[in-house]
């Protein structure tokens, strides 16, 4: 069964203006603007302009001031824009007010992400998760389009007027969510059985995690010598992929790719993709992949760490990997010493999944952890490593 995108984004036809509110606390507006543009590009939307308004807080009705909104309407006419995308979650009343005043389609960042997920979900599990997220998002946004008593239905012999059409729609959505969640639970149980079978084979599981578009799938392709989709787009991977990897020293482990994280991920999506992220609970080692060429890479690290904390995965051994170092040389004001200092500060391994730089050191770090985990299993009681006893990232890096 094919799950359709939300239709908030009309492929190949939409021309959008991106709308931002800069509040005093916003320190990374430039990066947020780039990220929303990347999300729009991933959804196949043509970005024809960006509008920023400095405010102490968003306008409760229109998000931006009414005068600024008139400027937006003029800009939309000049650039033939038919869509406004706001970089924050909008309330149903804000969407209505904006749509009525501008006569343009209005969506927010959450709807844009939902649409991308709908376009990219390929497995049954992925499609179910997307549909649940869509329905949860839609539920509080339903509204009666007609007069209060014009769409009433009552059963034969019913005492009152029965349910309004709006109530019926809400009930149907809740019933559909319940049905899909049962199906998702069944898939989760099947996943758990597969994980138990893998454990019986005694293969350790190494899971790739990281901010979206950090290069996780490219790394999996390189290490496993496979050709899965690895696009320079956000959320290129929604469904987990697992491959068997053998190291030079003969150690064998399972490498799993997962959906990329993103800042302020909508709560509905977090809940919906719980089944996919459950793969991380079977991980023996986490490979945290970071796009070190991104100007806002530190907030990406923090966003991923926050989700790991929410999932209670902070105690799982983790190797921090700085990917895409091949892109650093072309950056203005770059110095190799800056990278060396960062590598030491974070105890990270700098690599390029694309060119293969330092992949041998990454494999060495994985082997070191696998050796420690094997030793723990041989002990009657688990070995709890002190911080200073944990494997250090290899220091003899090639930077280019």
The Cα 275–Cα 211 span in angstroms is 18
Is 45 a known ligand-binding residue? no
Q: Name every residue whose Cβ is closer than 8 Å to that of residue 332 and which is 6 or more positions away in sequence.
A: none
Q: State in Å, rounded, how far the first CA of the chain is from the last one.
A: 48
Is 154 a known ligand-binding residue? no
Contact 317, 283 (CB under 8 A): no
Is 236 a known ligand-binding residue? yes
Alpha helices per DSSP H over the chain? 29-42, 66-78, 92-102, 109-120, 124-138, 165-200, 216-224, 267-272, 274-277, 297-310, 336-346, 359-378
Is 324 a known ligand-binding residue? yes
Is 42 a known ligand-binding residue? no
Q: Within its chain, how far is the Cα of 97 from the centroid?
A: 29
Q: Within its chain, how far is the Cα of 293 from the centroid?
A: 19
Residues in the chain: 400
Is 247 a known ligand-binding residue? no
CA–CA distances in Å: residue 387 to residues 300, 317, 390, 392: 24, 11, 6, 10
Is 257 a known ligand-binding residue? yes
Identify the H or E element spanning 205.
strand 204-210
Is 238 a known ligand-binding residue? yes
Is 275 a known ligand-binding residue? no
Is 258 a known ligand-binding residue? yes
Nearest to 48 by CA among 87, 68, 73, 18: 18
Is 352 a known ligand-binding residue? yes
Is 354 a known ligand-binding residue? yes
Is 217 a known ligand-binding residue? yes
Would you call 116 helix, strand, or coil by DSSP? Answer: helix
Is 214 a known ligand-binding residue? yes
Is 239 a known ligand-binding residue? yes
Tokens of 375: 């030793």
Nearest to 366 by CA among 231, 228, 247, 221: 247
Q: Within its chain, how far is the Cα of 180 from the centroid?
A: 21
The Cα 89–Cα 264 span in angstroms is 10
C-alpha angle 62-21-306 in degrees, rounded to nearest 5: 115
> Could you tell me which residues are annotated as the binding site for GTP?
210-217, 235-239, 257-260, 323-326, 352-354
> Could you tell me which residues are annotated as the binding site?
210-217, 235-239, 257-260, 323-326, 352-354
> Could you tell me which residues are annotated as the binding site for Mg(2+)?
217, 237
């Amino acid at each position: 069964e094919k799950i359709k995108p939300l239709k908030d984004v009309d492929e190949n036809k939409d021309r959008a203006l991106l709308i931002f509110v800069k509040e005093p606390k916003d320190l990374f507006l430039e990066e947020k603007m780039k990220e929303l543009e990347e999300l729009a590009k991933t959804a196949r939307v043509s970005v024809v302009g960006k509008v920023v308004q400095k405010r102490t807080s968003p306008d409760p009705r229109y998000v931006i001031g009414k005068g600024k909104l008139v400027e937006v309407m003029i800009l939309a006419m000049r650039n033939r824009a038919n869509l406004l995308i706001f970089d924050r979650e909008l309330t149903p009343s804000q969407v209505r007010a904006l749509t009525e005043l501008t006569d343009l389609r209005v969506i927010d960042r959450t709807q844009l992400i939902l649409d991308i997920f709908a376009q990219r979900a390929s497995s049954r599990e992925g499609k179910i998760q997307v549909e649940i997220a869509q329905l949860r998002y839609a539920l509080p946004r339903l509204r009666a389009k007609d007069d209060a008593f014009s769409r009433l239905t009552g059963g034969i012999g019913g005492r009152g007027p029965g349910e309004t059409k709006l109530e019926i729609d809400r009930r149907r959505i809740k019933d559909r969510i319940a049905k899909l969640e049962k199906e998702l639970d069944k898939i989760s149980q099947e996943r758990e059985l597969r994980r138990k079978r893998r454990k019986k084979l005694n293969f350790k599981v190494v899971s790739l995690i990281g901010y979206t578009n950090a290069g996780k799938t490219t790394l999996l392709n390189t290490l496993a010598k496979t050709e899965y989709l690895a696009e320079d787009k956000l959320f290129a991977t929604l469904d987990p992929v697992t491959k068997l990897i053998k190291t030079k020293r003969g150690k064998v482990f399972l490498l799993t790719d997962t959906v990329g994280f993103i800042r302020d991920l909508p709560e509905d999506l977090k809940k919906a993709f719980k089944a996919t992220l459950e793969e991380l609970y079977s991980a023996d080692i986490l490979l945290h992949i970071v796009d070190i060429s991104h100007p806002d890479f530190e907030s990406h690290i923090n966003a991923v760490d926050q989700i790991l904390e929410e999932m209670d995965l902070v105690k799982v051994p983790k190797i921090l990997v700085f990917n895409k170092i091949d892109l650093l040389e072309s950056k203005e004001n770059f110095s190799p010493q800056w990278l060396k200092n960062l590598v030491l500060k974070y105890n990270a391994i700098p690599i390029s999944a694309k060119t293969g730089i330092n992949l041998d050191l990454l494999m060495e770090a994985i082997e070191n952890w696998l050796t420690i985990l094997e030793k723990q299993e041989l002990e009657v009681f688990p070995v709890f490593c002190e911080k200073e006893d944990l494997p250090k990232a290899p220091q003899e890096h090639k930077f280019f």
